[in-house]
Structure 1
Amino acid sequence: MCALPNSPPALTIDVLFGDRYVPVMITSSPTTPFAFSPATATYTPPMTPQVSTALPAMMMADKQYWTTHPTVMSLPMAKSTARAAGNVVVRPVWAHNLREEVELIESLLRRYRYAAVDTEFPGTVYRPKVPTYALTAEKKYALLKANVDELHLIQLGLTLFDAAGRLPDLGTGVQYVWEFNFREFDVRRHRHAQESIALLRSKGVDFDRTRRDGIDAAAFGPRLRKLLRGGLGDAGVITFSGAYDLAYLVKMMLGSGYKLPATPAEFESVVKAMIRKRLYDVKEMARRCPRDIDLRGGLDRVAGKLDVRRAVGEAHQAGSDSLLTCQTFIKIRERYFVGDDDLTTVAGIVAGITAC
């Protein structure tokens, strides 16, 4: 740990640990209207963050340089990560580098015309008293609406890719995906599912930092609308079981005070109006594969059955999950939806709710 000349008492910078940026503190001191029941323990006291002591020997101390230059340093990893061919890095986006990262994304949209998205949120606080599969589409949507109306988005993962599955490398030889961090959720005040928050903590989400350095969702909404108008996902917006993902995106674009429509059909209309792109839900694509192919399950299970390995990070990290969604879409399209007509049969179907 080195002292920085003319530095403030403490500075948080994003440092690359092998394949993922993590925040490091540098100091200058030497020394569900249906039968829904609320989830249990919806409030929890602040937890003591778990800090890894496995720090790299080198650091980049200049925060401004780090946020404006995509050069990648080879630093020791705190934990090894299985990866596919190619080196992929997650670019974290905070309030301080939002403008630069959005401008960078805008510059890439003409070449990378597909967009895979994933969201992380505080779980669900309204839950049905019967298994989800027993609910009608209307009841599933009412459950979604109750949760999204009340809760706040924590992270948005974004992977840009072309028709062959190539990601932006910015001329560095390293491929990039994005992870936006939002500040609205306060674990001390807002309702949440305790197990979901514990899981996100275990995956590296620092809820103190998201509150301090996160993006204002209200300010990001117009930027997201501009990105969509500018070509984001022109060839397709890809999700995995994406009803909640789309609902949170719509809520963000229309403002935090916005309440989702009352019915699935109205929700469908709003999604079409706001996204205005062809939607592909990988879970629905898997469901429509030949009956002798068992592609049931969550994202990791479906990806594993298709021999797709996670290239960066872990499950329930928004950037990593958006990339795995992209990779799984490419593989399932290559195997089972070869022609444009085949792909058209699944366009606009959002798993678990309704046709969009």
Structure 2
Amino acid sequence: MKIIQIWNDNVDKAMKIMIKLIEEYNYISMDTEFPGITSIPTEYETSEEHYQTLKHNVNILQIIQLGFSFANKNGDIPKSKACWQFNFNFNFEKDMFAQNSLDLLINSGVNFQKHKKKGIKMNKFIHFLIRCGFLFNKKIKWISFHSGYDFGYLIRMLLQKNLPDSKPVFFKLLYYYFPCYYDIKYLSVCFKKFYGGLDKIAEKLKVFRIGQQHQAGSDSLLTLKIFFKLKKMFFEKKNFFDNVYFLCNSDLLKQKKPDIFFESEIDDYCI
């Protein structure tokens, strides 16, 4: 299976294809690659402190890659159009980064010179995301692994300004833009059978990677495969959506979507 590479010159073509894709393949797994964490969390953080760390890092750093992988409700994927990797404009001569994370991405094959010259411009991607019908859509099931930063970067892109100071407002924005989402890390801890990173869980489930580790397209596809393996094994009849690992309460009680909230609460942030 080929991971389709998207740069600034072929975003429009990708948009036209994805608009048709989501009519049938409405499960979207995503992963982001970003230049590390410059504000390091302490060992014993609360859920609120985790959010403040996330907010600070997302606000000062820039996304490098975003991976989308598609499936239908049965886990079937479109043969030649399942996995897409969006490569954003990034200039490490100007943009902030953590050196260890930059080295990791370079060793994983990320070409930063190409990102500097041909990377997707942010305003173009925002236009793409809105036009594709991905947002505000209750039929779309979003899947990610340890997804706080993934959704954080997407929401900051959509807001075109810093994330809110308040974690409850962040969750309201999350539900506003992405009404149904699953966090694989949260699920794996709930089941008390799978611990560790994405590759460790994949190994235990005998799910195999396509593509390069630490690249967003490959990671999103692996996340998608793990999700449907877990779905089949554990939660066909249970409800585990709308939780973000480490932004939930420390005892893993659900950080549920808001039962009722007024759009005026997020008016200052919404597009």
Q: Could you state the TM-score of these two structures normalised by the residue count of structure 1?
A: 0.68
In 2, are the aligned partners of 1:124 and 1:193 still within 8 Å (CA)? yes
Residue 176 (structure 1) shift:
3.2
Greater than 3 Å deviation, 4+ residue runs = 228-233
Counterpart residue number, 1:260: 163
Counterpart residue number, 2:186: 284
- By percentage of residues, which structure has more helix? 2
Find the aligned partners of 1:98 and 1:144 in 2 and give their Cα distance.
Answer: 28
Find the aligned partners of 1:175 and 1:347 in 2 and give their Cα distance.
Answer: 26
CA-to-partner distance for each residue in 1:23-52, whole Å, 9 max, x for gaps? xxxxxxxxxxxxxxxxxxxxxxxxxxxxxx
In 2, are the aligned partners of 1:109 and 1:230 still within 8 Å (CA)? no
User: 2:155 is paired with a residue of what secondary structure?
Assistant: helix
Answering whether residue 4 of structure 2 is matched by residue 105 of structure 1, we say: no
User: Aligned pair in 2 of structure 1 residues 229, 199: CA closer, same or farther (>3 Å)?
Assistant: closer
- Provide the aligned length of Structure 1 versus Structure 2: 250
Q: Sequence identity of aligned pairs in percent?
A: 32
Counterpart residue number, 2:64: 154
1:198-277 mapped onto 2 (5 Å cutoff) = 198-229=103-134, 234-255=139-160, 258-275=161-178, 277=179
Counterpart residue number, 1:317: 215
Counterpart residue number, 2:3: 90
Q: 2:87 aligns with which of 171, 181, 184?
A: 181
CA-to-partner distance for each residue in 1:56-114, whole Å, 9 max, x for gaps? xxxxxxxxxxxxxxxxxxxxxxxxxxxxxxxx110000111110011111111111010
User: 1:139 is paired with a residue of what secondary structure?
Assistant: helix
Q: Supply the AA of the counterpart residue of 2:223.
A: T
Q: Could you state the TM-score of these two structures normalised by the residue count of structure 2?
A: 0.88
Residue 188 (structure 1) shift:
1.1
Counterpart residue number, 2:39: 126
In 2, are the aligned partners of 1:221 and 1:254 still within 8 Å (CA)? no
Find the aligned partners of 2:131 and 2:244 in 1 and give their Cα distance.
Answer: 23
Q: 1:195 aligns with which of 97, 100, 105?
A: 100
Find the aligned partners of 2:219 and 2:51 in 1 and give their Cα distance.
Answer: 23
Q: Supply the AA of the counterpart residue of 2:54.
A: L
Find the aligned partners of 2:48 and 2:180 in 1 and give their Cα distance.
Answer: 23
Structure whose alpha-carbon radius of gyration is higher: 1
Counterpart residue number, 1:58: none
Compute the RMSD of aligned alpha carbons.
Answer: 1.6
Q: Quick one: higher RCO (CA 8 Å, sep 6+), 1 or 2?
A: 2
Residue 252 (structure 1) shift:
1.2
Q: Supply the AA of the counterpart residue of 1:349.
A: N
- By percentage of residues, which structure has more strand? 1
Residue 234 (structure 1) shift:
2.3
Gaps of 5+ in 2: 249-254, 258-271
Find the aligned partners of 2:25 and 2:177 in 1 and give their Cα distance.
Answer: 20
In 2, are the aligned partners of 1:122 and 1:154 still within 8 Å (CA)? yes
Residue 203 (structure 1) shift:
1.1
Find the aligned partners of 1:285 and 1:332 in 2 and give their Cα distance.
Answer: 8
Find the aligned partners of 1:155 and 1:233 in 2 and give their Cα distance.
Answer: 25
Counterpart residue number, 1:11: none
Residue 251 (structure 1) shift:
1.1
In 2, are the aligned partners of 1:238 and 1:281 still within 8 Å (CA)? yes
User: 1:123 is paired with a residue of what secondary structure?
Assistant: coil
Gaps of 5+ in 1: 1-87
